[in-house]
Each structure stands twice: as C-alpha cells, then as structure tokens.
Amino acid sequence: MRMSRKTTLGCASGQVLIIVAATAIVLVAPSFGYAIDFIQGIDVYHGDGEVDWKTVKKNGIEFAFVKTTEGTNFVDKRFEANMKGASAAEVLIGPYHFCRIDNDKDGKKFENYDGSPFAPGSDRYDDAVAEAKAFLKVIMPYYQSGNYLPPVADVEGLPKFGDAKLEREFISNWMQVFSDEMQKGLGARPIIYTSKSGAKTRYTPEIADSHELWLAYWKKSGTESPPTQDDTPGWKPWLFWQWSATGSVDGVPGSGKHHDCDKDVFRGTQKELEALLIHRAS
C-alpha cells in the first residue's frame, strides 16, 4: 500500500487451520522450518493504472485488496472498476480504507493528547466513527450483493505527539472506535495492515488480540523466509503478508518510475482463503 491520494497501501504445505465463526477468525499456524507454497495476491490503488484482471488471474494471482476510501471524503477513482474487474476474473477481492488517524474529520491535525479514553462527542471519537461510516457507505452494497474478503484498515496516517506511549494509546483507542463501528455496520472487524515496527509499537494487547494482521515486511529474499511469531510477538500469526512493494505483475501497469506493484501472500489453502469471504444480505 502506498500513502495518500498520490500513492496507496498499497500455505499449502503446512497445516493451517482457519475457523470462521460469525465474526471471529482463529488461526492455528505452523512454525516455518521448510519451504512453503503460499496463495499469491496483490494490492492496488488508482495509481497502479487500469488493471487487466484476466491477465492477473492467468499469472497466478488468486486474491487482491483494493483501495476504497481515505479519511472521510475520498473514494479511490478506480475502486469500482477494480472490484468489478477482479470479481469477473474470479480473483477474490476485498476493500481497504486508508486511515487518517493524524487529523479530525474536518482535516485538522491532532497535535496533542493527554492519554484519556476517547469520549463520545470528542473530535477524536467522532473522527474514527466518521471514517468507518464513510468506508461502510461505499463497501456495504458489495457485501450485500456478493462475497468479498474482509475489509482492511490501512494504518499509516499517524499522529505525531513526540511521545511513543501516547501515540500508541491514541492509535489503539482510535482503532477500537473505528473497529467497533465496522463491527456494528458489517458484523466483522477489519484486518489491520501495519509494518513490523508498527505491529510492535503502535497497538495495545487488546487491539492485537482482537484483530487479524496483514503484515508489511519487505524482504529481498522473497517469500523464502517468512515472518515468524518472534517478529510480531503481541499478535496472532499473520494472516496476510505484503512481502514486496517493488514487484511486477503482468496485467498491472504499476506505479512509480519502476512501475512497481505491491505483492502479498495468504498463509493457508485456497479453500481456507475462500472461507474468509463475507456476505451480508440486505
């Protein structure tokens, strides 16, 4: 995933058991002591250009996440085309929201924080609710008419208070309010997309314990040496892993001077990936 409007977000050989019950996903994963065949995926946004999803599918991509919204008043201009194109090509697809935790719903930066809980009616509480509602407004028609991967909270637009502990409390409180609103509207909590360092420093145990992890951890060695539990000790084993932000996939024009494309994997079988699909009849 690459940041903002000019940029985005953006194992079959081991036994992995995924149990989906209502809104909870429980993962039991193996340690990685041998080569693993992952399910391959990508994530894209408008800057990646017009994706040829049929070609993407032919080249082994089974799933994708696409940028949907950012903050409270931005919808990615290629969101609809990507959702429809991927679905038509039988690529499993899910939406992601770029969280603007650094500013309120009117775009004003959060410049300080005293560590107190987010009270309903406060600017920070209202911002988290407003962003969740903006995301839900765009994605609910899809979940009401088809089957899609769980939504994602792309946590990159972060506040800067000059105090890591306060920033951790603020981000976690904001994410809890956002997640509660998603749970209320869709019946599912978002997967959290964050970096290795972010997973270690930006979230309370309560957030880590109640959300699935999409880990951004880029490795030049490719997928041969996956992240282990020691890399993100506060979390359950990662569900998705973004292993490169500089890959290329036939069918994706890409962004940047090298036409890069974000590449991801799912730690499970195709059947287990399909079990994550959500449908909420209207």
* Domain boundary assignment for the chain: 17-274
Q: Say what the pLDDT of residue 36 is.
A: 65
Q: Say what the pLDDT of residue 21 is.
A: 37
pLDDT block averages, 10 residues each, the chain of length 282: 45 35 40 63 97 97 98 97 98 98 94 94 97 98 97 96 96 98 98 97 97 95 91 96 94 89 96 97 78
Supply 15's token pair.
């036994």
What is the β-pairing status of strands 39-44 and 261-266? antiparallel
Q: Which of 42, 24, 154, 47 shows the shortest CA–CA distance to 91? A: 42
Rounded Cα–Cα distance for residues 57 and 40 (Å): 10
Please give the CATH architecture assigned to the domain spanning 17-274: Alpha-Beta Barrel (3.20)
Q: Say what the pLDDT of residue 33 is.
A: 38
Q: Say what the pLDDT of residue 253 is.
A: 96
pTM, entire model: 0.88
Rounded Cα–Cα distance for residues 199 and 214 (Å): 10
Q: Say what the pLDDT of residue 259 is.
A: 85
Please compute Rg for the chain using Cα positions. Answer: 18
Distance, C-alpha 272 to centroid of its chain: 18
Q: Say what the pLDDT of residue 256 is.
A: 81
Rounded Cα–Cα distance for residues 124 and 110 (Å): 8
Rounded Cα–Cα distance for residues 214 and 42 (Å): 12
Residues 235, 17, 272, 143, CA torsion sign: negative
